[in-house]
Structure 1
Amino acid sequence: MAGPNAPWHQKKNHPVRRHFPFVLLFALLGLSALASAPAAALEFELGAGPVDEIDGDGTWIATASWLTGQRHPWELAVGMIGARTQAQGVDTGDVYFVSVSRRLTWKRWFVQGGIAFTDSDNEVLSNHWQFRTGLGYDFGRFSLSVAHLSNANTGGRNRGETFALLQVAF
């Protein structure tokens, strides 16, 4: 039997191990959406920004995203939201996620919506499956957005995470 400090792949009930087939299918669907675009049309973005405070305890988010070259691109993103340890009753640990969303654009503005899988079930993001929504502006090489990750009250506690994200395209 694996102890509490064992790697995730040795823990029988670890969420990543338990949900691995679904995560793999989810990632393959996202990759197939990206593969449908010509290689020259793919864009890579790195992003970072502050995450809204909970009981005075804020944190940061970092993301890596791949976007298709269509007018309304698909976005496959992986990211990490830093741990919260100072807020009373809220100890989230680092949260890792993968998401697939669609950006609908108008001039340089965009709205996005999609689904995400997180490795955590905690006080802020209960449930492993989340929705990702956002509103942003594309400045060309840079984009700035405000987004929300939450289960939309589909299961358990639902504070969600709201964050600002500055992304740089390559």
Structure 2
Amino acid sequence: MTLILETPDRTRNSKRALSSPDNEHDSEHKCAYQSIMESPLSSQSFEPTISLSEEAIQKISDTLVATYRVHIKTIAENVVTSVIFKLISKLKLIKNENTKLCSENSELKAKLNLLEIKLNAKEQYFRLNLVRISGIKENRDENTDDLVLVLSRKNGSNLTLPELDRTHRVG
């Protein structure tokens, strides 16, 4: 059988003309190819058949399990090592941040303590001219400023009203 291959006529522009057979030889080859593909030989399998004993199958299975176990163990170790490395890196960052925050917290506590001391001193300064009266009988409609001025004269101190910021009774 001689195969004659001819190229389609390129002068025709349609796809249909280029894809269809140009002559009788192409049609004959097509029919011959189909008959070969449909022959009884094409449906037969040429793969060899292997029969194994249960013992051989078990040995192959054990070998595969052992091989994959080693590979899986290696993969698991690599994953665990990678995760641990990343966790250690993050832990170091967190420790550094914690150290910075602890230092900053200590500084802020010291500043707060200093500010509380200064505030107390300021409050004491503002109370410098504040007089509280206790242990003296209270009269209705009394003026505590006048009472303090009378008491100061009796004690020998010469307080004046502008020196007093506020006077009131305790209790």
Q: TM-score, normalised by structure 1?
A: 0.16
Write 1 or 2 for the structure with the bigger share of strand.
Answer: 1
Greater C-alpha Rg: 2
Where relative contact order (Cα < 8 A, 6+ residues apart) is larger, the structure is 1
Write 1 or 2 for the structure with the bigger share of helix.
Answer: 2
